Chains A and B, each alone.
Chain A
Amino acid sequence: MTDGIALVAAARARDRDAFARLVTLETPEAWRLTYAILRSTVDAEDALQDAFVTAWTRLPDLRDPARWAGWFRRIVVSAAIDHYRRRRRRALASYIRRVEPVPDASVEVELRDAVDEQLASLEPVDRALLTLRYGLDLEMGAVAAALGMPVGTAKSRVHRALQRLRQGRSLGALPEA
């Protein structure tokens, strides 16, 4: 993490090489987040690029390099949701992006695909919440901070999202494991 802080500090001083290393370092987790929200590799890449450019532009405002992780995560979520909204505005009909089914007929995979379908039906903010909480295993405080909402609001939204998934399951959309 010390290396990370040093990189952030250097990037804040407009060191592009340091920022390039930061991009390489942050891309895997940030990519998972944008991909989970947008569910399209092309869109996720575009949103992630926007997030990095925004981060570079606003880096001088980040006073404490140690706060980079949460600060950047919030930019990533915001970029992905903005991208989603722009994309939605473009579409005159319903917009559907499907994740490729993995060609494996095991029960485990069927369950995963069914949950996946249910996740796809959630609002992007809820997908972001679940991705941060369960995909990246973040504490609720960090989840809420990434979305710029109070912890209580984040908790109740996660609860409602789980309820919706559970309802989908009780309707038979999710197979029993």
Chain B
Amino acid sequence: MNDDAELEDGIRTALRRAWAQPPGPAFTERVIDALPQGRDTRRRGRLATLGLAALSVVIVVGAIPAWLAWVAAPVPGPSAAASAGESPAPTAPQTVTAPAASDPVTERLWELVMPRPTGWLVAINGTRDDYSGQDLFAVGSMGTVPVEETCQAGDPWVCTTAWEQSAEIQVRVEHVGSGPRRWGQWGMASRQPPAGAERITIDGIGAQIRVVDGERVPDTEEIVVGAARIIVWDLPSPGSLWTAYRITAVIRGHAARADALERQVRDVVDGIRYAPSFAWDLPADDPAGALQAGLRALREQAARSATMDASCFPNHPGGRREAVIEQTAFLPYELTRPLEVTCSSAIEPTEFRRWKMTLRYDWQAADEHGAGHAELVVLLDKMYGVVGYGGDFFGVDEMPYLRRI
């Protein structure tokens, strides 16, 4: 095959396999809901746009006084002491229903739909020092428009957006991902929680939280000068096994105020909903069907490889089968000679509404080797089409005659 044809094939393969699963019937409903009503849709659309623009202006005008009112509210702390009582809060125009300071505004950050209290500010980029005095909007003018973000390459790569209510509380939301699967559903499903972390559920899905008193952000080298308390939440991403959301809240207030601020930010995180929501990729009540689907995906993969074979695993959960195998389900490994094993299949649901399939080889002691076992653990995920799974290997180093290619 010449270079051009090979490159074109590479492009075809890359494009087709990188395509995520198209959205389902819910997307059609969403589109139909979004269609303008009526026959003369274009004219109405333009009028609607004009109306929306006018409404936006009114809301912004209304929201600024609401925001000013919130900022001027007498709260403990140096900035509040300077402003309280000096300038009465402006009243919002009667024709406008500006959001009250306590009413949350729904904000979408990537796949997270968050109730953000009005009065919180949106920071477009970087740290407080970077954006101080610029790129700030009163909440209420943002509606459900996605918050701005900035991304940095690396491992993990990180996209960040930041909110803050005042100098006393800052909230940063990061979308984090990496190749080695340290993050996201896979990291949470296959590893114990880090020290000090507590497993919780948000929108019914597994997540974890860490609370520390002091200036060091858990799990990082980051120091936040003046922080009294730092809370970190890790949430999985619905559409991915290896990306996650990390929400970091820094609280600087006095003790009594800190508790109130912590409650406020906890309410925000507790109120998070996923969009799209987590859904079972394979039927929730059919472990046998899920196992068969997982094995089918694995065997399709094996059919394209000269050194992969997954045929010995039983198709029913809890099944065991003795076999002499010439290749394994591990890639990129090959067996240099046949091995007598017992193959077993197991499957269980995870707290992320996916199935976790465990395929295990057990072997007895023989002249040349001791007894042992090795496992392929797979989170079933139809997002990846033909490949159909994401997994990890355990015990491959001990498996007799197994050699990495």
CB of A103 within 8 Å of the partner chain: yes
How close is B9's CB to chain A, nearest CB, in angstroms? 9
A113-B384 Cα distance, complex, nearest whole Å: 13
Q: A45-B27, A106-B331, A106-B332 are in contact. Are A96 and B18 (CB under 8 A)?
A: no
For the residues of A in contact with B, the DSSP-based class is helix
Q: Chain A residues near B41 (CB, 8 Å)?
A: 14, 56-57
CB of B47 within 8 Å of the partner chain: no
Contact with B along A23-49 (1 / 0, CB 8 A): 110011001100110010110110011
| Cβ-defined contact, A41 with B239, below 8 A | yes
| Cβ-defined contact, B23 with A91, below 8 A | no
| Cβ-defined contact, A93 with B124, below 8 A | no
How close is B25's CB to chain A, nearest CB, in angstroms? 7
User: Which of the 9-residue segments A2-10, A69-77, A129-137, A142-150 touches chain B?
Assistant: A129-137
| Cβ-defined contact, A106 with B305, below 8 A | yes
Q: Please provide the chain A residues from 63 to 117 with a CB less than 8 Å away from any CB of chain B in the complex.
A: 90-109, 111-113, 115-116
| Cβ-defined contact, A90 with B32, below 8 A | no
| Cβ-defined contact, A16 with B19, below 8 A | no
Contact with B along A46-64 (1 / 0, CB 8 A): 0011001100111010000
How close is A156's CB to chain B, nearest CB, in angstroms? 16
CB of B36 within 8 Å of the partner chain: yes
How many chain A residues touch B (CB < 8 A): the figure is 61
Q: A53-B35, A91-B150, A101-B179 are in contact. Are A169 and B7 (CB under 8 A)?
A: yes
A68-B341 Cα distance, complex, nearest whole Å: 58
Quick one: which of B31, B41, B152, B239 has the most chain A CB within 10 A? B31
How close is A24's CB to chain B, nearest CB, in angstroms? 5
With beta carbons under 8 angstroms apart, the residue of B10, B240, B331 that contacts A111 is: B10
Q: Chain B residues near A138 (CB, 8 Å)?
A: none
Contact with A along B23-56 (1 / 0, CB 8 A): 1010110111011100101100100000000000
CB of B310 within 8 Å of the partner chain: no
For the residues of B in contact with A, the DSSP-based class is mixed
| Cβ-defined contact, B28 with A20, below 8 A | yes
With beta carbons under 8 angstroms apart, the residue of A32, A53, A93 that contacts B152 is: A93
| Cβ-defined contact, A100 with B149, below 8 A | no
| Cβ-defined contact, B19 with A35, below 8 A | yes
CB of B254 within 8 Å of the partner chain: no
CB of A154 within 8 Å of the partner chain: no
CB of B16 within 8 Å of the partner chain: yes
| Cβ-defined contact, B22 with A28, below 8 A | yes
Chain B contact residues, CB within 8 Å of chain A: 3-4, 6-8, 10-20, 22-23, 25, 27-28, 30-32, 34-36, 39, 41-42, 45, 110-111, 124-125, 148-153, 157, 159, 177, 179, 181, 239-243, 301, 304-305, 331-332, 383-384, 387, 390-392
**For the complex of A and B, 3 pairs with smallest distance between CB atoms:** A135-B15, A115-B14, A31-B22
> Could you name 29 residue pairs across A and B whose Cβ atoms are closer than 8 Å?
A16-B35, A20-B32, A23-B27, A23-B32, A24-B28, A27-B27, A32-B15, A35-B20, A42-B110, A49-B31, A49-B34, A53-B36, A56-B35, A93-B150, A94-B153, A96-B157, A98-B157, A100-B177, A104-B387, A108-B304, A109-B387, A119-B11, A135-B11, A135-B12, A165-B11, A166-B7, A174-B10, A177-B6, A177-B10
